[in-house]
Amino acid sequence: MAVFVALGAFLMTLAGGWVAQRVTDRRHLVLGFAGGLMLGVVGLDLLPEAIEAAGGHIFGVPAALLLFVGGFLFAHLVERLLAVRQAAHGAGEERVPQVGLTAAAAMVGHSLMDGVALGAAFQVGGGMGAAVALAVITHDFADGFNTYTITSLYGNARRKALVMLYADAAAPVVGAATTLLFTLPEELLGCYLGFFSGALLYLAAAEILPEAHHDHPARSTLLCTVAGVCFIWLVVGIAG
């Protein structure tokens, strides 16, 4: 049942990527919306779940929050190291394609964990599985949208963006299938979500949103960002 439901997540992810491709003439609006989706996913979905699942504190601070900060710093460090390496080879200040691929790979990893969570929920019971299924399927639209947008933003070819999109779409199916063999400990899942949230917030705040407002500092771009956050809020509210 979990694998069957994950097929719905597969289709929803592809739908999000398809929308991201079709609105290239309004790139600043796409990026503004993507930034809002990422901000909403982090603040309203991933981070609260990570804090609850990870449990314990380390020197007075929830483990998930420490990993959240670590993920933010890690994303910053990786981007700087790749940028310095590219500059050393005479590439200047252009965006580094590897950063986009790394970020998209992290999105794929997140979708894989979505599938694992989906399978684990159905192991608990049908009601729990249905609730998690609703959350996974609805926000996988945002995942597909963001995966394609991030990969393309960093100068990767359309073919690579599509490869990452299909990998992200297949990941929930693979994750759900693995729960037929094992179940991921809740604490470990919470720690992963905390770390991933930090990396995702860095990309939204330091890359996606500044790029959205660089050439088109329009009110409509800001409204798209707010709309992205509100969409995730709606999804979380319905799934809750």
- Helices 47-54 and 63-88 pack at an angle, to 10 degrees, of 120
Residue 90: predicted pLDDT: 47
What is the separation, in whole angstroms, between the first and last Cα of the chain? 21
Residue boundaries of the structural domains of the chain: 1-239
Q: How far apart are CA 240 and CA 236, in angstroms?
A: 6
Q: How far apart are CA 49 and CA 160, in angstroms?
A: 31
**Is the distance from CB of 213 to CB of 34 less than 8 angstroms?**
no
Residue 98: predicted pLDDT: 77
Per-residue pLDDT of the chain (240 residues; tens, 9 = 90+): 677 777 888 888 888 888 877 776 676 777 788 788 878 878 887 788 888 888 788 888 888 899 999 989 987 887 777 665 554 444 444 566 777 788 788 888 878 877 877 776 676 556 556 656 766 776 677 778 878 888 887 778 888 889 999 998 898 888 888 877 776 677 877 787 788 788 778 877 877 788 777 766 678 888 988 998 998 888 778 766
Q: How far apart are CA 150 and CA 164, in angstroms?
A: 10
Residue 92: predicted pLDDT: 47
- Two tokens, residue 157: 């070819």
Instruction: Check: pTM over 0.85? Answer yes or no.
Output: no
Write down how long the chain is. 240
Residue 130: predicted pLDDT: 64
**Is the distance from CB of 99 to CB of 79 less than 8 angstroms?**
yes
**Is the distance from CB of 209 to CB of 43 less than 8 angstroms?**
no
